[in-house]
Amino acid sequence: MPKGKFIALEGVDGSGISTQVGLLKKWFLGRGERVFATKEPTDGPIGALIRQALTRRVVRPDGSPLDDTTLALLFAADRVDHLRCQIVPKLEHGVHVISDRYYLSSFAYQSLGDDLEWIKIINSRARRPDLFILLVVPPITSQERMSRDRWQVDLYEELPKMEVILRNYLAVARRLKEEGENVRIIDGARPLEEVQGEIRTLVEGVLKVLD
Ligand code: TYD
C-alpha cells in the first residue's frame, strides 16, 4: 500500500493556516483520498499543557510564566508524541496528513528565546514532512484579520514581535531549502481561493512523487 504524504502549513498567527488546512482537506476528500487534518500544539496532554502555559494558567510557583527553554522542550515533546500517536500510524496506513504547524513553527518562534541550533537539535527526531508551505502574510494584515475574527490582541505590542517571527520564518525556510527540504514560500495575503489554488498545485506535485 502506498504511504500517505505529510504536508505542513506554516505562518505567523492570523496568516490563515487553519482555513487553508480545512480547504485542502476538502479537496483531498473530493478526490476520494483518505486524509487526516491535525494541528500543533496538539489536543493531546502535552499540547494541553502548552496551551495552559501560553495562557498563563500554568505558571511557576512564584507566578511567573514558564521560561522559553521549557516551552521549546514542550513543543518538541508534543511533536514527537504527535508523530508516534497520530501522524506516523496514519501515513503507514496510506492516509495523507495535513498539519497546521510543525517544526518550522518552533524554528521561527522559539528562536526568539533560544539559539536556533539547539532548537534544531531538540527537534531532530521529528521526521521531515514531504512538503512545508509557508504562508507569507505581512503581520499588519494578519493582525487585522485576527482582530476581526477573535478577541482583540494587543495590536501594537505584538506587531514588532510578529515582524521578527516572519523574518525568522523566511530565513529558516530558505536555509532548510538549501539543506534539501521541500519548503515552498507563498504569498498568503491574496484572496483565499487564490492561495488555496497555489497550495493545491504544490500538493499535486508531491502526490506525483512515488516512494
Ligand atoms: P495556534 O496555532 O495559534 O493555536 P490556537 O489556534 O489553538 O490558538 O498556536 C499557538 C501558538 O503557539 C502560536 O502563537 C504559535 C505558537 N507555536 C510555537 O511558538 N512553537 C511551535 O512549535 C508551535 C507548534 C506553535
pLDDT digits (tens, 9 = 90+) for 115-130: 999 999 999 999 999 9
Check pocket membership of 41 for ligand 1, CB cut-off 6 A.
yes
Check pocket membership of 130 for ligand 1, CB cut-off 6 A.
no
Grade residue 152 by pLDDT with cuts at 50, 70 and 90: low
Which contacts of 145-153 are long-range, i.e. CB under 8 A and separated by 24 or more positions? 145/14, 145/16, 146/13, 146/14, 149/14
Check pocket membership of 6 for ligand 1, CB cut-off 6 A.
no
pLDDT of residue 154: 55
Between the CA of 208 and the centroid of ligand 1 the distance, in Å, is 31
Between the CA of 133 and the centroid of ligand 1 the distance, in Å, is 16
Q: In what order do the strands lie in the sheet with 96-100?
A: 35-39, 96-100, 6-10, 131-136, 183-187
C-alpha cell, 55: 495562557
Check pocket membership of 42 for ligand 1, CB cut-off 6 A.
no
Distance, in Å, from the CA atom of 21 to the CA atom of 37, rounded to the nearest integer, reads 7
Check pocket membership of 13 for ligand 1, CB cut-off 6 A.
yes
**pTM listed for this prediction:** 0.95
Distance, in Å, from the CA atom of 111 to the CA atom of 201, rounded to the nearest integer, reads 31
pLDDT, tens digit (0-9, with 9 covering 90-100), for 157-196: 689 999 999 999 999 999 999 999 999 999 999 999 999 9
Determine which residue's CA is closest to atom 17 belonging to ligand 1: 105
Percentage of residues of the chain with pLDDT beyond 90: 89
pLDDT of residue 149: 72
Phi, psi of 99 (to 5 degrees): -115, 130
Atom of ligand 1 nearest to the CA of 102: 24
Determine which residue's CA is closest to atom 7 belonging to ligand 1: 41
Of 80, 74, 183, 89, residue with least CA distance to 124: 80
Check pocket membership of 105 for ligand 1, CB cut-off 6 A.
yes
Check pocket membership of 78 for ligand 1, CB cut-off 6 A.
no
CATH number of 6-207: 3.40.50.300
Check pocket membership of 75 for ligand 1, CB cut-off 6 A.
yes
Between the CA of 210 and the centroid of ligand 1 the distance, in Å, is 32
Grade residue 148 by pLDDT with cuts at 50, 70 and 90: confident
More confident residue, 114 or 156: 114
Between the CA of 36 and the centroid of ligand 1 the distance, in Å, is 19
